[in-house]
Structure formats: C-alpha cells, structure tokens
Amino acid sequence: MGNRVPTLEDVAREAGVSRATVSRVVNGVRNVSPDIQRSVRDAIARTGYAPNQAARSLVTRRTGAAALVLSATDGAFAARVFSDPFFGRVVDGVLPVLRERAIQPVLLVAESERARTQLVEYLRRGGADGALVVPLDDEDPLPAMLAAAGLPTVLFGRPRDGERYGFVDLDNDAGARLAAEHLWATGRRRPATIAAPVTAPAAAARLDGFRRALAARGVTDVPVVRGRFTVDSGRRAMAELLRDHPDVDAVFAANDLMAEGACQYLRERGVDVPGAVAVVGFDDSAAARRSRPRLTTVRQPVERMAAALAGLLVEELEGTRTGPASRVFEPVLVVRGSA
Amino acid sequence: MGNRVPTLEDVAREAGVSRATVSRVVNGVRNVSPDIQRSVRDAIARTGYAPNQAARSLVTRRTGAAALVLSATDGAFAARVFSDPFFGRVVDGVLPVLRERAIQPVLLVAESERARTQLVEYLRRGGADGALVVPLDDEDPLPAMLAAAGLPTVLFGRPRDGERYGFVDLDNDAGARLAAEHLWATGRRRPATIAAPVTAPAAAARLDGFRRALAARGVTDVPVVRGRFTVDSGRRAMAELLRDHPDVDAVFAANDLMAEGACQYLRERGVDVPGAVAVVGFDDSAAARRSRPRLTTVRQPVERMAAALAGLLVEELEGTRTGPASRVFEPVLVVRGSA
DNA sequence: TTGAAAGCGCTAACAT
DNA sequence: ATGTTAGCGCTTTCAA
C-alpha cells in the first residue's frame, strides 16, 4: 500500500467533493451544507488526514505558532532558567492566552552567539509568527535582531531603547521603595542590599530605588554586594556582607532566591531572622514560601504580566493594534516572617 | 516601495542567474562557479533575502527543527519543570548535539489534555521533524500519540511498553542498590526511603532496587513515604518519617531535591546529618552541591544521556539507523558529606 | 453553496 | 556548470 500521507486531494476524492470544499470544512468556513460537512468529516476521519502546515503557511503566511524566547548572553544558561521559578511563572502566564487562540507556544532558548544567529534565521524563515522575548541581559542584541528581521516582537521588561518594542514591566523603583520604607518603618537603620548583576534588566531600577528611598531618610551609605540571582550567590553575598559590615540589621535582595540564600547563611551562623537581621526579597515566587522564615517580599505579578505580554503580541498579530504598546504593573509588599 | 519580502526569484533577477542557481548557492551545493557564487551572495545581501521555510518544507518534507517535549499529566507543571535542575540538564545535553547539525531545538510543553492534543496536531502538521520526549508520568499518553502520528520519537527513560521507541535510560535498579550498599556498609541498619510518586518513570525501579538490596541483607521492613520530587515534599516526607519511625538512621531519597528537603528538616529539628541520620540523594544535580551538608548521591549523567538521546533522533532522521535503539547508562555513587 | 484554477516560493529531476 | 520545468499541498479568488 502506498504509504503516502493523505492530502486534501485524497479527502476530496473520498468525499466526492472538490478540494476547495474540503478546505472550507477544515477551516471552519460557513457556507457549506451540513450533509456535505458530515461526509467531508467522515472522509477526513477515514483517511486520517492532517493539513500540511508548510503548504498552508505558504499561502496564508502564517504558522500558527508564537515563540517564547529565553535569551542570555552569558553561560550557565539552562542552570539558571531551569531553577529560577520566575521562568516557570512566565510560561504559566503565557500558555493559557496562547492556547485559547490555538496558537502553538514554542520555547526557544538562545544560550550563545551561535544559538542567537540560528534562532533569528529560524524565525526569519517563518518558524513562528511573532516572539515574546525574556531577555536576561540588558545588552542582549537579540531583540534588535528580531525587530530588524521584521518579526513582531514584545519584551518582558522595559528595553533600554525605550519605545521600539511593546513590553510589559514592573515599576521596579516603586518596589524597591516599598522594601526600603518597610525596613525603615520597622526600625532598621543599617540596611544593606544584595543587588543583581549590573547588566540584568531591572537591576539598576531596584538598586537605585532602594538607595533613593533611604537617602530621603538620611541613610546614604548602603552596602551593596552583587549576586547572580541564585540561592548560592545570595548565601555568598550575605557572608561577604556580614564579614565587611557586621552591624547590618537589614538586607534587601533583588530576588527571592538570593534572599533565601541570605536567610540560610544567617541561620547557619546563628543570626536570628528577623530578630537580628531583617530580610526582604523580590518577586514573591515559590522560594518566598519555602524559605525559613517565610520571606517578606515585593510581589511581582509575573503570571499576569506574562499574560498581558502574550496579549500584546496577539493584538499585534491580529492587527487589532498597530504601534508598540506597553504596560507597567505595580508591585505590592507582602509581609511574612523575614522582615 | 513594495514592501514584499524578497524571494529566490528576486535574488535571481538581481544576480542575473536562474532560481535554481540561487537555490544551489543557498543550499551549499557545489557545481557552482566561484564568481557566480559571489555575485549571488552579493545579491542575497543586497536584497536581504531569507529562504521561505514553508516553501522549502513543502518540497523537502523537512522543517529543520526537532521538538524537545516536556510532558506531564498532572498540574503544577511549569513550577516543577522550572525549578528542578534536572530539566535544565536535559536541555544542556540536547542543545549542542542539535546546534551542531543546525537543527533548531524547539521546546514544547504539554501541561494539559488540551495542550497535548494541540501539540500532537502541531507536530503532525509538520511543526518539527522528530520529537525528544521527557515524560514526567508513566501513564502519559503522549508518546503513543506521537508514534501514532508517525513522528520519529525517542524517550528519556524506558517506556512501559518496552521497545516501540528508542530511548535512553539509567540503570535505576543499580543506582538504588549502590545507595543501599553504601548505607549498609557504613553501619546503617534502620534505613527508610522517600520515594517518587507511583506513576513517575523510574520510581518503581528505584524503590524496588533499594528494597531488594536491603532484603538481601535481611532488612525487610523499610519505611516508605512518597514525595513529589520537590524540596518541600522532601521536607514533609522527612517529618512524617521521623514522626512514625523515630529510630531511622538513614534515608534514601529518589532525587536530590527531596534529599535536600530531608536534610533541611533534620537540621531544623537538631538531628545531626550524617551523625544521627544519613541521607543519600539521587541525580547528583546542583541541589546536591548546594545542600548542607553536601549530598552523598547516585549520579545520573543526565547531560550525556540527553546528548545520546538527541543522537538517537538524529540517526533516525538521517536514516543512519532504522529500528528503535536504546542505551542504558550506569550510575555512580558520589560520596559527600550527608552519608 | 460548490467547483475550477491560479499561485504561494521553493527544490530537484532533467535537459543543455 | 547552469537553466527549464514540474510539482510539493494548500487557500483563495472568481465563476457558475
């Protein structure tokens, strides 16, 4: 037996109609009489027909897929992405929006120079109709590459070059301020911060926001140690902080993972949290709830932001909106046990 | 100006040659004189041409992409995948193999019934040339669906229905035995185990292997508590174990995350690890090195296994091999501080 | 409501 | 070494 994959033609012959009619049924176009619809559906079932996406795309110029791109310029990529709950939350937020519209979400990772090139090539050729990009680095060239390739692109996090893309972002400055004000209000006068890598998106905003809010209260010498968003780096940063500034009474970390690491280190050294040192995290991820004590943290509504991001792309693809649009979300302070 | 995307035709006209010649240059076929190659390349650069994948796929019946499918039948999917270092290691292992051959890796997640259906549809239509599937559940119908759709499919972990697919797997039984023998050899006589969910792939093998090895030494009543592969579930399991069997002197957890949780709980309760209770993990993931004390664990060479898995698929796609093939890796015990 | 036919952009067989 | 040409399987006018 010919092991050929069945085509529209086969279904048409089987059902005794034209290709056009089968196509209409498959694509749910009305103006097809009910009985013909039935017989076509039967023929489809009998033949096991599935549309050929290549042929379809060739004429519609659509793939029905949207790329969710995780991009970083440094190494240790997968280790980071697959251990920070943040990315899972992004995925959780994006999926339902796309699924609802039967847009296939495809995750693409750009872990190296070569990967970026291949990825852009892939998308230029028509791998997906648009891209949702989560840049892990402010200097990431990928968004610009995608835009240059003419691909509808939206970003998680405000890009440096402002308004060329649609994006969603958090008011990071306000978030850092919430942390600072809470620590101040609870009597902390010698706060330090475990900041993000200099090139991390949002890093500057969280650090500056924290410093400014404290400066407004007369605290100008806030110790800063950089972490790398991981539990381990938070632990090491805390060790450094404790060594160089044994009198700190509060720590604001740029994400929950580092705050968790800080708590771990403090507890191991017998330093009471929050008694001796208060710790505030950022994100309100799963790490905030599993940490001991549970973390007081600045909540970033990642799932809602990701859903909005997907919505932005969908609008662009559907032509509902034309220019780039953006949306900024407000953080909320969640007080738990650590501060 | 006509905002049309340039096609082969445009490049051909620009270079003053035929479409076929341009195609040859683009696809790196020899038999094209150097000077013509140059002028074609120039024309490509000038026009900004990129091949249309749909048109290409239509004739080659290839997409140049391979899917890495993460599939689960229960909820809390993204939270699991994006916090267990295991999946990052799989990605790390797969990427280089695919990149090297310029095969685009696309990550697909099947988090629900609907997602599975859409995903299979997508792949049937030609979303990728083959699939690397990491099933999180033994009863996952996805592999069978993909196979039924005629898509080349290989699995991480031996499937229940044996030899219908190519797969890579670890000798989990041997791994569990290593753990049991180490605990026995170091004088532990009242071991317990934190097992995986009943439907988890490899779960049965690790549990049975542990039991059998101990039974051979006369220990037949090994307490078992089920965890869910997370730190938290490991912590809770340990609490349960300690409550119901206060005399346990060793714990074998089915992965490092649960072992980490067990250690955390024990330390919080002031139980010395490994003094009072020895803990052995499984995987040798990043969690093993960050845990305190560092975990003694059964090493699973996930990256190498994932690379081999990708190799299996590549062979199948290239026609180098025909029937399903499989490869089973041997575990190694890594002794650190926890046992 | 249905069918006929053109054509999307490319590769590959064949001809030169 | 290069060109000509016939499709790949589908959607979408346009006619009927």
User: Distance between CA atoms of B335 and B339, rounded to whole angstroms?
Assistant: 7
Asked if A54 lies within 8 A of B51 by C-beta distance, the reply is no
Closest chain A residue to B93, measured at CA? A78
User: Distance between CA atoms of A154 and A161, rounded to whole angstroms?
Assistant: 13
Q: What is the pLDDT of residues B200-254, one digit of tens each?
A: 989 999 999 999 999 999 999 999 999 999 999 999 999 999 999 999 999 999 9
Most confident of A237-246, B37-46, B161-170: A237-246
Chain B residue numbers with beta carbons less than 8 Å from the beta carbon of A125 are 50-53, 56
Q: Give residue B211's identity as a one-letter amino acid code.
A: R
Whole-number Å distance, CA B56 to C1' C10? 5
A334 CB-contact burial (10 Å; exposed 0-12 / middle 13-18 / buried 19+): middle
What is the SS3 assignment for B24? helix
Cβ–Cβ under 8 Å, residues B126 and B99: no
Asked whether the predicted pLDDT for residue B75 surpasses 70, the reply is: no
How large is the average pLDDT for residues A298-324?
92
Whole-number Å distance, CA B98 to C1' C16? 40
Model pLDDT, residue A83:
85
Asked if B125 lies within 8 A of A88 by C-beta distance, the reply is no
Asked if A104 lies within 8 A of B119 by C-beta distance, the reply is yes
User: Distance between CA atoms of B98 and A138, rounded to whole angstroms?
Assistant: 27
Q: What is the pLDDT of residues A255-280, one digit of tens each?
A: 999 999 999 999 989 999 999 999 99
Q: Check if residue B117 sits with its Cβ under 7 angstroms from strand C.
A: no
Q: Which of residues 27-66 of B touch strand C (CB under 7 A)?
A: 27, 49, 51-52, 55-56, 58-60
Q: pLDDT category, A248, cuts 50, 70, 90?
A: very high
Could you give the angle at the alpha carbon of B4 between the alpha carbons of B2 and B7, nearest 5°?
Answer: 130
Asked whether the predicted pLDDT for residue A75 surpasses 90, the reply is: no
Most confident of A81-90, A211-220, B45-54: A211-220
Model pLDDT, residue A191:
98
Q: What is the pLDDT of residues A118-135, one digit of tens each?
A: 999 999 999 999 999 999
Q: Give residue B227's identity as a one-letter amino acid code.
A: G
Q: Check if residue A125 sits with its Cβ under 7 angstroms from strand C.
A: no
Tokens representing B270?
Answer: 């002031």
Asked whether the predicted pLDDT for residue A309 surpasses 90, the reply is: yes
Q: Over B162-192, what HEC string results?
A: HHHCEEEEECHHHHHHHHHHHHHHCCCCCEE
Whole-number Å distance, CA A306 to C1' D10? 34
Asked if B290 lies within 8 A of A149 by C-beta distance, the reply is no
Q: Over chain A, what HEC string results?
A: CCCCCCCHHHHHHHHCCCHHHHHHHHCCCCCCCHHHHHHHHHHHHHHCCCCCHHHHHHHHCCCCEEEEEEECCCCCHHHHHCCCHHHHHHHHHHHHHHHHCCCEEEEEEECCHHHHHHHHHHHHCCCCCCEEEEECCCCCCHHHHHHHCCCCEEEECCCCCHHHCEEEEECHHHHHHHHHHHHHHCCCCCEEEEECCCCCCCHHHHHHHHHHHHHCCCCCCCCEEECCCCHHHHHHHHHHHHHHCCCCCEEEECCHHHHHHHHHHHHHCCCCCCCCCEEEEEECCHHHHHCCCCCEEEECCHHHHHHHHHHHHHHHHHCCCCCCCEEEECCEEECCCCC
Asked if B53 lies within 8 A of A126 by C-beta distance, the reply is yes
Q: What is the pLDDT of residues B296-338, one digit of tens each?
A: 999 999 999 999 999 999 999 988 887 778 999 999 999 999 9
Asked if the bond preceding A246 is cis, omega within 30° of 0, the reply is: no
Cβ–Cβ under 8 Å, residues B68 and B132: yes
Q: Considering only CA atoms, which of B193, B309, B294, B200 is closest in space to residue B253? A: B193
Cβ–Cβ under 8 Å, residues B252 and B179: yes
Pick the range with the lowest mean pLDDT from A153-162, A173-182, A183-192: A153-162
H helix intervals, chain B: 8-15, 19-26, 34-47, 53-60, 77-81, 85-100, 113-124, 142-148, 172-185, 203-215, 231-244, 256-268, 286-290, 302-318
Mutation test of the interface with chain A: which of B26, B77, B91, B273, choosing the one with the most A Cβ atoms within 10 A? B91
Q: Considering the entire predicted model, what is its pTM?
A: 0.93
User: Distance between CA atoms of B282 and B258, rounded to whole angstroms?
Assistant: 9
How large is the average pLDDT for residues A307-325?
89
Beta bridge partners of B326: B167
Q: Chains A, B: CB contacts under 8 A, how many?
A: 154
Chain A residue numbers with beta carbons less than 8 Å from the beta carbon of B64 are 122
Q: Which of A56, A85, A107 sits opposite B106 (nearest CB)?
A: A107
Cβ neighbours of B96 (radius 10 Å): 18
Q: Calculate the dihedral angle through the C-alpha atoms of B14, B15, B18, B19, rounding to the nearest 10 degrees.
A: -60
Model pLDDT, residue A3:
63
Asked whether the predicted pLDDT for residue A230 surpasses 50, the reply is: yes
Which residues, other chains included, contact A303 with Cβ-Cβ below 8 Å and sequence gap of 6+?
A: A89, A90, A92, A93
User: Distance between CA atoms of B99 and A114, rounded to whole angstroms?
Assistant: 8
Q: Which of B54, B118, B150 sits opposite A104 (nearest CB)?
A: B118
Q: pLDDT category, A288, cuts 50, 70, 90?
A: very high
What is the SS3 assignment for B271? coil
Q: Which of residues 262-321 of A touch strand C (CB under 7 A)?
A: none
Q: Which of A102, A125, A232 sits opposite B50 (nearest CB)?
A: A125
User: Distance between CA atoms of B168 and B311, rounded to whole angstroms?
Assistant: 10
How large is the average pLDDT for residues B151-157?
95
How large is the average pLDDT for residues A91-116?
94
Q: Which of A88, A89, A127 sits opposite B53 (nearest CB)?
A: A127
